[in-house]
Chain A
Amino acid sequence: MLALVLALFGVAEAQDHSPVVLGMTAGFSGPTRSMAVELYRGALACLESRNVLAAPGLRKVALHAADDGYEPGPAIENTVRFLTRDKALALFSQLGTPTVSRVLPVLRAYADQGARLFFPVTGLEASRTPPYVRYVYNLRASYRQEIDALVGAFVARGATRVAICHQADAFGRSGWDGARRALSRRNLPLCGEATFARVATVADDMAAQAKVLAACTPQAILLVGPAPACAAAIRDFRRAGLDAAVGVVSFAGGELLLRQLAAEGARLGVDLEHDVIFSQVVPDWRDETLPAAHAYRQALADLGDRLPPPGGWDTPASQAGSSVGFEGYLNARLFLAVLDAMADPDDRQGLDAAAAAIDQIDIGIGRPVTLAGPNHQALDMVYLNTAKDGRLVPLTASLAIAETED
């Protein structure tokens, strides 16, 4: 857990300035491993492409990755270590709601040292609302926005009985909370709810959850969890005869979930992709019209299998992109914009000013983003997809409602 791999630019040490360090703690082991690795690769690819192209005098950026196993404790330890020993400029792209929700107080504790978390990969509400929103900058839309988009899609399709199956932790609870709010706004009840363990894998049996949900004969089921648990849930829902539409949030990993569904479906001889709606918080990375998508794919190719994350690259290393990886790429790209806006790249106190300076800039996704908003959220877009032949097919894209009411 505590194994720490430092990826350093050994060849670039001849320069005068040491690189700017970003600290990334994520579940490089456990249920979120695939997601963490994709996230890391996307971000690293972006940073490496900048480091390669870096003009003389410009500080390079190093991404320090540490494994927290999707557990809050190690996540906190890693965070503290990044902030103190590693002298990281900022914390970057931490993965997972339960971990991030526990790290938020740490940020508050280290506020005097300018501790800031940039672009955690979570739709956690707390990181977008006071008191912690001061220390966090988000790129992506919140889970509430994702859930609301999914609920809206289901209701548009005529569904009135919507159930939720969520991970038994803060992440799942935030999805549940979003679902409750989205439904109540539409004057609908949450017809049923079930939970599964945070550490659930694809091998776990979700028949119990299927049974609980089947009790209310839902027309649609919201699924809040990482890829392996979602794959297991969808598989067992279908096996239990639950043919309701299933909506999964971005944390499921999109392509990662799709790959596991395909594997499970092939093993069982069932089409598990059918009637699953994937909510994404970044645009389609294959979209040729988007410069960032193109750059992303190029950066991946350039990166190869250098600088492996904790636990190494998955073998065979997937050279293909993913929604998660694209999110990591976009996170890094936006952070580089912040970094460029900073007067002193070593002074954390300049981060807020630099972030405030990010206003309506283009990061290559077809629409400008800004970090100056009260909720420190750059993007309010939710992209819904369906699957077809092992690939995500964009369904709709909608501008989610910024969560300001309550």
Chain B
Amino acid sequence: MSRLFRKTLLAIVLVFGVSANATALLSAWLLHRHLTDEYVTKGRAIAMAIAAASPDALVGGDAASVQAMIDEFLRIEGVGYVFVADRMGRIAAHTFLPAMPATVPQVTVSHQEAISIDDAVIPDRGDFIQVTAPILAGEAGQVSVGMDKAGIWRVMREAVIRQEVLMLAMFAVAVVIFYALVSGIARPLAALAEYAVKIRDHDFSATPPPASDDEVGVLARAMGSMAGQLSVLVSNLKQAVADTTRELNDSLAHIQAIIDNLADGLLVVDDAGRATLHNPALLAMFGLTGTDPAGRWVRDAFPPAMAALAGSCLFDRTCPEAEVELSDGRTGKVVATSFRLPGQDRTAVILLVRDVTVEKEVDRMKTEFISTVSHELRTPLTSVLGFAKIIRRKFLELVVPSLPPEDARVARGAGQIRENLDIIVAEGERLTELVDDVLDIAKMESGRCEWDMEPVSLAAVADHAVKAATPLAARKGLALTAEVASDLPAVMADRDRLVQVLLNLIGNAVKFTASGWVRLSAAAVGGEVRISVADSGPGIAAKDLETIFEKFKQAGDTLTEKPKGTGLGLPICRQIVERHGGRIWAESVPGQGSVFRFTLPALAGPAAEAAEAACPARAAPTAEGDASRVLVVDDDAAVRRYLETVLAEGGYAVATARSGAEALKLAAAWKPGCITMDLHMPGMDGREAIRRLRAEPATRDIPVMVLTVASSRERAASGADAVLAKPVDEEALLAAVRNLLEGPAEDDARPCLIYAADGGRRLSRRFLLCPGEVTSVGEEPGLWQALEKGFCGTVFVPASRGHDLDLSKLSAYPGVCVIIIPD
């Protein structure tokens, strides 16, 4: 039986049951009322009939006749009992068995009431409707007829049962008819449902059920047609999915091949810190070949640096580069990139690891090469430039005066020699400058440059630069002005490099401007500070505005015009500015001058102006015995000879040593008053030699001055008493030696500047041989400021602070002698 039929049958049963029972109940109720009325009527009729017929017998005392009469009425359907009472109320006749119950109500009917109808409830006999009628208006008595309600109920029950039976029969017939009808509908429907289930299960080969002409048939045909269309659609869809899947697989394989064949190691980390993707190169780099780190915590599977980088990139949004140690002692450079997964609210980090072992090695070798080359270049330059200067001096001091003034030819030759010597010295100096610039840019480009980043006041820097360049401009008759806003924000910068940039730009402007002015200006624009150096020079062609920042490129034709610099100044400037996070560019209108501008990111507040500490102090000069002997230690014979010449010219007895070991012997035997020491020597180098000298009591107190091309750190670490950078200026050398040996000369009243935090009170007085005014600065900016203000004299720098200073730059100030003293 179909569900449809069952449901409908249930509904029919319910409806039939409710309606049948309701009808039966209604009928029963109506019947009950009707029968009750009828019984009352009947009882009334009987009572009145008896009342009408019985007066004679009753009056005559013939109870038997009365009894016979009521017995007759007892036979009538529904009559339960009859009794007759005489006028005294005594029972004359009744039909009760075995006795008339006391509970039978005996009402007295008045004259007005023709009749009385009462309910009589008689225990053990049932309920009755008692109709009482007077006989002869009550004069003869009264008759009561009890109509048995059980009769009512019996008739009612029979009627209800008959009705229910009829209903049941009708129901049975209805069910049969309904079953026939529903079967006619449900069978095709069931077949259709079966067909629909098959289609749902993608069985499009199923045949639709035979269709009739009714709605079910229309449905069946429509479903068949739909199934056909669905079949085509599904097969097309399957084909499309297969194509797409194949393409996707190809694409995936393509991408996977790319990832697998990446030379760099690739690692993708999800936001929980788990590795989700990697490639074979990565495993090879970390020596994890054969393992599968996918799904593991990055911190477990890889070095901590990787996890830290991924974490900072995920959570701090900063994705720096880092170096990690790979297996086999190799080094890798990791670049992290965070990205948002498409369609997800999650970020992930891509870590690319590149094996930079070779690059680092190359870098190291390059740095070493540059260091070596610069040393190898500077050493001969020292000799060349030094001797050239000596020759020029001696030529001017000794040869020229001895020439016969009248000999015009000789005089012309001497003038020629002098000019040639000037050229040699100038070119030597230019060559030195070039070497310095090349070293600078090489260091920057290789990233080996050391940066001392700190909040810097641009006003102070600009002031410094302008003061330093003022003499230069003044020589060419140019007006150098500065327009710097006082409330400029501070910038995070390396002060010295910033000064270098400004000097470079100002120097260029001065260099290329024949007449007019050079103006430095600085202003805060937005979140950055913009500095510009403008001049009234010839300007730069538009095509050169960019190229001038490339190495060895200068504006103009370098072949036809004499170069006016190394060509490395602007590239260095660009390196520095970009290293500070800024930009540098040039603007120019040819013929109307040019403007070089650069920007620096501004800090939040203005920089605190460094306090200028000036603490005058006078140090009593001290003298050492046997102060005329100077021991020169250098492995380069030319330098030895040059130093020997210079010192001998200065009036000192000079001994030379080729190596550290030889220097130790001579120092012990000859007892020099002072030693100049090269740091880079074969065998025992200068540092070791100084250490041994200090270790030996006999030589412990001999001052040592280092002359070197080595870096400031090396110089600081050497333990020397004073330092001069090569190429050595003759006068500076002599002054330094003189200071070491005798203290400043009496006539030399040049002041001293002590760079010490406590004003030099704790410094050994032995070295403070200052003939002039002694000043002390505690902070480095104060030192530079003093120098920029044109300080000319000896700068004493404690060894412990020496490594913080750019000594070469310090010694590059004209008229400044730097002495590093032990603290």
Contact = CB atoms under 8 A, between A and B. Distances in A.
Given A126-B65, A177-B64, A170 B71 contact: yes
B66 A173 contact: yes
Given A101-B68, A102-B68, A170-B68, A197 B97 contact: yes
B536 to A, nearest CB: 156
B507 to A, nearest CB: 154
B62 A126 contact: yes
B63 A177 contact: yes
Interface string B63-78: 1111110011000000
Given A72-B72, A125-B62, A177-B61, A193 B67 contact: no
A196 B97 CA distance: 6
**Residue in A97, A172, A173, A196 with the greatest tally of chain B CB atoms within 10 Å:** A173
Interface string A110-127: 000000000000001110
A171 B64 contact: yes
B95 interface: yes
Contacts of B66: 173
Contacts of B67: 169-170, 172-174
Interface string B96-113: 111100000000000000
A168 interface: yes
Nearest to B68: A170
A349 interface: no
B683 interface: no
B64 A126 contact: yes
Contacts of A125: 62, 64
B64 A168 contact: no
Q: In which size bucket is the chain A interface?
A: 20 to 34
Contacts of B329: none
A197 B98 CA distance: 8
A140 B86 CA distance: 29
A176 interface: yes
B769 interface: no
Contacts of A212: 98-99
Nearest to A207: B98
Interface in A278-331: none
Given A98-B68, A101-B64, A102-B68, A173 B93 contact: yes
A20 interface: no
A194 to B, nearest CB: 4
Contact of A193 (B62, B71, B99): B99
B671 to A, nearest CB: 169
B697 interface: no
B525 to A, nearest CB: 133
Contacts of A357: none
B140 to A, nearest CB: 15
Contacts of B63: 173-174, 176-177
Interface residues of B, number: 18
**Residue in A169, A170, A197, A209 with the greatest tally of chain B CB atoms within 10 Å:** A170
A226 to B, nearest CB: 16
A94 to B, nearest CB: 14
A372 to B, nearest CB: 23
Contacts of A98: 68, 71
A129 interface: yes
Nearest to A131: B56
A195 B96 contact: yes
Interface string A382-406: 0000000000000000000000001
A208 B99 CA distance: 9
A29 to B, nearest CB: 19
A168 B74 CA distance: 11
Contacts of A174: 63-64, 67
B343 interface: no
Nearest to A200: B97
**Residue in B66, B68, B95 with the greatest tally of chain A CB atoms within 10 Å:** B68
B300 to A, nearest CB: 108
Interface string B255-293: 000000000000000000000000000000000000000
Contacts of B64: 97, 101, 124-126, 170-171, 173-174, 177
Contacts of A97: 64, 68
B73 to A, nearest CB: 12
A208 B64 CA distance: 23
Interface in B178-215: none
Interface in B25-68: 60-68
B98 A195 contact: yes
A170 B95 contact: no
B72 to A, nearest CB: 7
A233 B761 CA distance: 161
Nearest to A174: B64
A208 B67 CA distance: 22
Interface string A151-175: 0000000000000010011111110
A181 to B, nearest CB: 8
A97 B68 CA distance: 9
Contacts of B99: 193-195, 209, 212
Given A102-B68, A173-B66, A129 B60 contact: yes
A98 B65 CA distance: 9
A196 B63 CA distance: 17
**Residue in B63, B66, B67, B99 with the greatest tally of chain A CB atoms within 10 Å:** B67
Contacts of A197: 97
A72 B95 CA distance: 16
Contact of A406 (B60, B71, B93): B60
A193 B90 CA distance: 13
A171 B64 CA distance: 6
Contacts of A172: 67
A171 to B, nearest CB: 7
Contacts of A176: 63
Contacts of A173: 63-64, 66-68, 93
Contacts of B72: 72, 102
Contacts of B61: 177, 406
A196 B98 contact: yes
A213 to B, nearest CB: 9
A194 B96 CA distance: 9
A170 B98 contact: no
A194 B101 CA distance: 11
Interface in A81-136: 97-98, 101-102, 124-126, 129
Interface string A187-226: 0000001111100000000101100100000000000000
Given A169-B71, A170-B71, A406-B60, A101 B97 contact: no
Contacts of B96: 168, 195
A194 B65 contact: no
**Residue in B61, B63, B64, B66 with the greatest tally of chain A CB atoms within 10 Å:** B64
A69 B94 CA distance: 23
Nearest to B56: A131
A388 to B, nearest CB: 30
Contacts of B97: 168, 195-197, 208
Contacts of A194: 98-99
A165 B99 CA distance: 9
Nearest to B69: A170
Contacts of A102: 68, 72
Interface in B367-415: none
A177 B67 CA distance: 11
A97 B63 CA distance: 12
A172 B62 CA distance: 12
A101 B65 contact: yes
A173 B62 CA distance: 9
Contacts of A72: 68, 72
Interface of B: 60-68, 71-72, 93-99
6 contacts: A101-B68, A169-B68, A173-B66, A173-B93, A193-B99, A406-B60
Given A72-B72, A177-B61, 6 more contacts: A102-B68, A102-B72, A126-B65, A173-B67, A173-B93, A209-B99
The 9 A-B residue pairs whose C-beta atoms are closest, nearest first, are: A173-B67, A174-B64, A170-B68, A209-B98, A177-B63, A170-B64, A101-B68, A212-B99, A194-B98
